[in-house]
């Protein structure tokens, strides 16, 4: 088996609560792996530990217990971050810099220089649809535009792994759709993506697998199709069935011990599934 893009083993993170003896467990014995090339969605209600888990993977927060690695390199080592791009939950940008200057600034932080950096910055602005805003200052950007510059920033050092914390938070539906399409584009280029989001519909469209965190624990994990399929139900799709035929089928089903419980799609959507499992585990 090839080395996973991300591996998290028995990860626990506790925070001290000021003036109290007990500690807050933000992440509880979390283990998961993201193979290279996959888009993995970490879902969970606010405060379930998504951002903390991501920050530990990126070496920005020290775990209480457990280990994390990126392409086999321990997150505590600086080299682990060489092939990673990160879009934080609330990215901070200098408002007086233009879009192009912002990318040049982040590029220089990654040790990129000269005309190669400039060409790369222009091509990234094009990728995220900001080529016409290259010389505009970020102070006048909408939330959607800021998220797109954040994506471009995360791509500046041609990462093999992109970590996106709530990439569509506060972005309108059209903007969210564009971000979703970008994620699919990155995936087609072979980039591994770890994203967390509460916008379940979009997660459903881009993620190969999801994990649901609740109170810091991973309560469900798998392919979306498998998770939301209702196992004891069978769907029969008929074209041009007459009412008489439907009545006959229903009668036969009853005789065979089955119950016709409705017409339509026998699947919960991801949103219903999410609410069901998080409520069940409260
Ligand atoms: N630096 C910190 N100090 C104390 N508590 C924190 C810190 N960061 C996160 N927490 C707590 O850890 C829990 C998980 O937070 P977080 O990982 O941000 O959740 P999510 O991203 O899923 O909304 C929350 O209860 C939050 O208040
Ligand atoms: Mg968060």
What pLDDT does residue 265 have?
46
Residue nearest to atom 16 of ligand 1 (CA): 49
What pLDDT does residue 232 have?
73
Taking the centre of ligand 2 as the mean of its atom positions, its distance from the CA of residue 53, in whole angstroms, is 9
What is the bridge-based pairing of β-strands 39-43 and 192-196? parallel
Residue 93 has pLDDT above 60, yes or no: yes
Per-residue HEC secondary structure of 37-80 comes to: CCEEEEECCCCCCHHHHHHHHCCCCCCCEEEEEECCEECCCHHH
Residue nearest to atom 12 of ligand 1 (CA): 26
Taking the centre of ligand 2 as the mean of its atom positions, its distance from the CA of residue 104, in whole angstroms, is 27
This prediction has a pTM of 0.84
- Asked whether 238 and 69 are in contact (CB, 8 A), the reply is no
Ligand 1 neighbours (beta carbon < 6 A): 15, 24, 26, 44, 46-52
Q: What is the pLDDT of residues 222-279, one digit of tens each?
A: 998 888 776 677 777 788 888 898 888 888 888 988 887 776 544 556 766 777 787 7
Q: How far apart are CA 194 and CA 163, in angstroms?
A: 5
What pLDDT does residue 239 have?
80
**Which of 59-68, 189-198, 224-233 is predicted least confidently?**
224-233
Taking the centre of ligand 2 as the mean of its atom positions, its distance from the CA of residue 184, in whole angstroms, is 22
- Asked whether 276 and 268 are in contact (CB, 8 A), the reply is yes
> How would you list the strands of the sheet with 161-165, edge to edge?
84-87, 161-165, 192-196, 39-43, 209-214, 217-223
């Amino acid at each position: 088996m090839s080395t996973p893009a991300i591996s998290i083993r028995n990860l626990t993170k506790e925070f001290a609560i000021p003036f109290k003896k007990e500690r807050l467990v933000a992440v509880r014995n979390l283990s998961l792996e993201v193979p290279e090339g996959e888009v993995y969605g970490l879902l969970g209600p606010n405060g379930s530990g998504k951002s903390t888990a991501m920050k530990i993977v990126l070496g920005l927060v020290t775990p209480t217990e457990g280990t994390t690695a990126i392409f086999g390199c321990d997150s505590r080592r600086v080299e682990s971050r060489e092939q990673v791009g990160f879009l934080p939950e609330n990215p901070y940008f200098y408002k007086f810099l233009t879009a192009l200057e912002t990318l040049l600034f982040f590029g220089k932080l990654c040790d990129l220089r000269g005309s190669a950096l400039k060409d790369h910055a222009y091509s990234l602005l094009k990728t995220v649809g900001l080529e016409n805003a290259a010389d505009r200052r970020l102070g006048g950007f909408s939330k959607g535009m800021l998220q797109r510059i954040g994506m471009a920033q995360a791509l500046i050092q041609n990462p093999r792994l992109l970590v996106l914390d709530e990439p569509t938070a506060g972005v309108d539906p059209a903007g969210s759709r564009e971000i979703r399409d970008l994620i699919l584009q990155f995936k087609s280029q072979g980039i591994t993506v770890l994203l967390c989001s509460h916008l379940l519909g979009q997660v459903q469209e881009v993620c190969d697998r999801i994990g649901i965190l609740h109170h810091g624990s991973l309560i469900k994990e798998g392919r979306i199709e498998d998770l939301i399929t209702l196992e004891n139900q069978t769907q029969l799709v008929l074209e041009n069935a007459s009412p008489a035929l439907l009545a006959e089928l229903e009668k036969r089903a009853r005789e065979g011990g089955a119950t016709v419980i409705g017409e339509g799609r026998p699947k919960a959507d991801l949103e219903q599934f999410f609410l069901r499992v998080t409520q069940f585990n409260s």
